[in-house]
Amino acid sequence: MNINAQMVKELREKTSAGMMDCKKALKATEGDLEKAIEYLRKKGMDAAASKFSRQALSGAVGSYIHLYGKIGVLVEINCETDFVANTGEFKEFVKDVAMQITASNPKFISREDVPEDVIEKEKEIFYAQVEKSGKPTSVIDKIIEGKLDKYFKENCLKEQIFIKDSSKNINQLLLELIAKLGENIVIKRFSRFQLGEEI
Amino acid sequence: MNINAQMVKELREKTSAGMMDCKKALKATEGDLEKAIEYLRKKGMDAAASKFSRQALSGAVGSYIHLYGKIGVLVEINCETDFVANTGEFKEFVKDVAMQITASNPKFISREDVPEDVIEKEKEIFYAQVEKSGKPTSVIDKIIEGKLDKYFKENCLKEQIFIKDSSKNINQLLLELIAKLGENIVIKRFSRFQLGEEI
């Protein structure tokens, strides 16, 4: 296994260990980065373990607290530079998305994030609702497809109608901002806590 | 299976379906509440599905945003009545806990929340650090026990030293508040987003 400079650099960035220690760790683990990190930790050379979680992207974490603490939302939105993160437009978008999540309670960011077993479960429920209708299978399939589409539009943040302007959904709002600010912008994650709900 | 009034009441509260529908659903599912809810959904009688997540407890959701959005924290803390939730002491505690999480980055609420595989992994790393020391096994065991205890104190919110008063940890602060306000108070959950960290 040939240990090249790029690999050493990457390991150093992740652990802040010395160059020779990094080379040694990579040789011992045949260039496996994850194993090399663990190797350094085991040798006690992980002084900068906290750097694992350092910032890799720009953007902002924003929050919204509704009704004096009955509902709270935390959201992380990324962009490419601090310059864009500091614009009024970006800050307003962060606030709007936090408010949207507070009001409309999405479960996912986009339909690609909905797990397959959730989709199957919903389909099963939709099917049970229509199977007795006596309609032909092709019609039932169309109905279920429509219901599933409605489910995505209600539960996926990017497909929800924007609460402050019903002429667009959140994804359109996002695309407009990307066009305006000229950087890629990503809604990375969110948490929504409603007081007393079961978890 | 005898369907009693208490079961019907509970199902009605959870679904807002009519009394006769609830009785029928419970009979059809032999009194299984979860199955009865699904039964009503399949029959299309789940108009109030949103009520599933309604408030069951008092308290507050609080947030803290640090460094103009570089770190954000959301926390839910429960108490028994709105009266206590509205006291200055309770509100201050919510704020203090959110700040503590921001500053000290706990991974868990208490040591009972640390998964067994995380403990095993840490033990393995600690063992690798000391096994070459030549010390007797009983001493090594004591060292590992001490390191594990240190891990809990650093990573479990309730065991962390309070950032605003190093004479106590968060659990002591919580117990003082419980004694003062006379209600059970529970730190239920938290989210901490650090801009750009890997998830």
In Å, how far is B198's CA from the nearest CA of chain A?
7
Q: State whether residue A55 is helix, strand or coil.
A: coil
Which pair of structure tokens corresponds to residue A96? 């709007």
Tally C-beta pairs within 8 A across A and B.
Answer: 132
User: Which residues are registered as beta bridge partners of A186?
Assistant: A78
Q: If pLDDT is split at 50, 70 and 90, which confidence band does B41 have?
A: confident
In sequence order, what DSSP letters do the residues of B47-88 get, joined into one string?
TTGGGGG---SEEEEEEEEETTTTEEEEEEEEES-HHHHTSH
* Tens-place pLDDT, residues A109-149: 999 999 999 999 988 888 888 888 888 888 888 999 999 99
Q: State whether residue A31 is helix, strand or coil.
A: coil
Q: State whether residue B175 is helix, strand or coil.
A: helix
CA distance A34 to B27: 55
Of the candidates A95, A91, A102, which has an alpha carbon nearest to the alpha carbon of residue A59?
A91
Which range, A90-99, A115-124, B131-140, is most confident? A90-99
Q: State whether residue A186 is helix, strand or coil.
A: strand
Report chain B's mean pLDDT, rounded to a whole number.
Answer: 87
Query: Which residues from A are below 8 Å from B191, CB to CB?
Result: 74, 191, 193
C-beta separation of A131 from A140 below 8 A: yes
**Residues of A at the B interface (Cβ-Cβ below 8 Å)?**
38, 41-44, 52-65, 68-76, 78, 85, 94, 105, 125, 128-129, 188-189, 191, 193-199
Report chain A's mean pLDDT, rounded to a whole number.
Answer: 87
B43·A78 Cβ contact <8 A: no
Q: Which residue has the higher pLDDT, B191 or B181?
A: B191
Span B53-57, average pLDDT: 47
Q: Sign of the C-alpha dihedral, residues A14, A17, A18, A23? A: negative
The reported pLDDT for the residue numbered A44 is 65
Which pair of structure tokens corresponds to residue B1? 């299976």
CA B105 to chain centre: 15
Which H or E element spans position B186? strand B186-194
The reported pLDDT for the residue numbered B47 is 47
Q: If pLDDT is split at 50, 70 and 90, which confidence band does A164 have?
A: very high
B53·A94 Cβ contact <8 A: no
**Residue A14: what are its φ and ψ, rounded to 5°?**
-85, -25
Q: What does the DSSP 8-state code read for residue A132?
A: G
Q: Which residue has the higher pLDDT, B4 or A71?
A: A71
Q: Which residue has the higher pLDDT, A14 or B153?
A: B153
Residue A72 clears pLDDT 50, i.e. is over it: yes
A57, A63, A196: residue with CB nearest B65: A63
Closest CA in chain B for residue A54: B197
Q: What are the C-alpha distances in Å from B112 to residues B39, B131, B152, B155, B184?
A: 36, 27, 10, 12, 19
Query: Which residues from B are below 8 Å from A56, CB to CB?
Result: 196-198
A61·B193 Cβ contact <8 A: yes
The reported pLDDT for the residue numbered B56 is 45
* pLDDT-above-90 percentage for chain A: 50
* pLDDT-above-70 percentage for chain A: 92
The reported pLDDT for the residue numbered A163 is 96
Residue B28 clears pLDDT 80, i.e. is over it: yes
A43, A60, A72: residue with CB nearest B61: A72
In Å, how far is B96's CA from the nearest CA of chain A?
15
**Residue B8: what are its φ and ψ, rounded to 5°?**
-65, -45
Q: Which residue has the higher pLDDT, B22 or A167?
A: A167
* Tens-place pLDDT, residues A177-187: 888 888 888 99
Q: Tokens 């109608």 correspond to what residue?
A: A161
**Residue to substitute from A46, A74, A130, interface B, most B β-carbons within 10 A:** A74
A188·B199 Cβ contact <8 A: yes
**Residues of B at the A interface (Cβ-Cβ below 8 Å)?**
38, 41-44, 50, 53-65, 68-76, 78, 85, 94, 125, 128-129, 188-189, 191, 193-199
The reported pLDDT for the residue numbered B88 is 96
pTM (whole model) above 0.80: no
Q: If pLDDT is split at 50, 70 and 90, which confidence band does A198 have?
A: confident
Q: Which residue has the higher pLDDT, B129 or A98?
A: A98
Closest CA in chain B for residue A43: B129
Q: What is the ipTM of this complex?
A: 0.70
- Min mean pLDDT across A46-50, A94-98, A183-187 is at A46-50
Span B103-108, average pLDDT: 96
Q: If pLDDT is split at 50, 70 and 90, which confidence band does B196 have?
A: confident
CA distance B37 to B40: 5
Residue B55 clears pLDDT 70, i.e. is over it: no
CA distance B44 to B62: 36
A52, A60, A65: residue with CB nearest B195: A60
Query: Strand locations in chain A, DSSP E?
Result: 58-66, 71-79, 186-194
B196·A57 Cβ contact <8 A: yes
